[in-house]
Amino acid sequence: MGEEVEKDIYAIYSKVVEEQLKLPTSDLSFKSNPDYCYMLEHTSVDQGQKYINLIINKWGSIFIENIELFKTLISLNDNIGKPNTFNFSKHITCSPSNLRYIYFAFIALDDMKKKNITETNVIEVGGGYGGLCFYIIKMASLFDIKIGKYTLFDLEYPMKLQDRFLKEVGIENHVTTTVQDVSMLEENSYFVSSYAFSEIPKKCQEEYTKYVLNPFVTNGFIIWNAIDVYDFIENADIKSLPENPSTGMFPKNKHVFFSKKVLS
């Protein structure tokens, strides 16, 4: 599966990651490299401010009370990869992608809390450099949630970048793998994917459904794009909401939540 996808829309992105991995950490510049940013790190300043506004409107008490923690996490993230940074409200200076990942982490953790999930393993398809993983793990305690194992599925070189980045920022409970090896997965995991699951080829989606989603996943949150939402997992209630804020990238962008049905 990985080779098929890599030869398609991810070829340039994967190649620049391969070249970046040859550099010492202090010289990594993938977050401002145009051949990387067409795929990731293209969140606009306007979108970043909208994410902050939504976070404050919905989770303001958590965000404001822990603003120094968030600033520390943002600084730790932006210290790797030489991103382009901008000024935002609440005296935050950062790459706008931080605010997107924080917002998505808030949504995922809030969904877990509403479903009375206090401890879970997480599975992510298309992990980028590991940004969403970083924030979900670091923010989980704010919701009294414990993340056990966090497994990322991706292409060869992006997975190596995820391993390197996450170790640099102190995340030890992650695993990277491919759909050919699901031996480390556990049942009743929570699934996340940020603009990845729905844009990979349909054959790859079907492989993830067969080998990952159906046997190992109970709940999840997907930022959906490119195609119409369909029944991508068996025996589940799937709820689709308009993307908020709308990124304007695709008219089909949605926030998709799902839960396996309880069989009587």
**Residue 6: pLDDT above 50?**
no
Amino acid identity, position 71: K
**Residue 59: pLDDT above 90?**
yes
* Range 182-193 average pLDDT: 96
**Nearest partner of 18 among 35, 4, 1, judged by Cα:** 35
**Residue 10: pLDDT above 80?**
yes
- The predicted pLDDT at position 262 comes to 79
The structure's pTM equals 0.95
* Range 77-100 average pLDDT: 96
Domain 115-260 has CATH 3.30.160.20: no
Cα separation values, 176 from 112, 194, 230, Å? 22, 16, 27
Please answer whether residues 161 and 129 qualify as being in contact, where contact means their C-beta atoms are separated by less than 8 angstroms. Answer: yes
* Residue boundaries of the structural domains of the chain: 115-260
- The predicted pLDDT at position 141 comes to 98
**Nearest partner of 88 among 47, 59, 42, judged by Cα:** 47
- Edge-to-edge strand ranges of the sheet holding 254-260: 174-177, 146-153, 119-125, 189-194, 217-224, 254-260, 236-242
- The predicted pLDDT at position 7 comes to 47
* Range 68-82 average pLDDT: 98
- The predicted pLDDT at position 1 comes to 44
Task: Give residues with Cβ within 8 angstroms of 69, minimum separation 6.
Answer: none
**Residue 248: pLDDT above 80?**
no
**Nearest partner of 59 among 107, 131, 96, 94, judged by Cα:** 107
- The predicted pLDDT at position 11 comes to 87
Whole-number Å distance between alpha carbons of 258 and 236:
6
- The predicted pLDDT at position 230 comes to 96
**Residue 46: pLDDT above 50?**
yes
- The predicted pLDDT at position 5 comes to 47
**Residue 250: pLDDT above 80?**
no
* Range 234-253 average pLDDT: 88
pLDDT above 90 as % of the chain: 87
Please answer whether residues 92 and 52 qualify as being in contact, where contact means their C-beta atoms are separated by less than 8 angstroms. Answer: yes
Mean pLDDT taken over the chain:
93
Per-residue pLDDT tens for 96-137? Answer: 999 999 999 999 999 999 999 999 999 999 999 999 999 999
- The predicted pLDDT at position 111 comes to 98
For the record, the structure tokens of 61 come out as 């008490």
**Residue 2: pLDDT above 50?**
no
**Residue 95: pLDDT above 80?**
yes
Burial letters 149-176, b for 16+ CB under 10 A, else e: ebbbbbbebbbbbbbbbbeebebeebbb
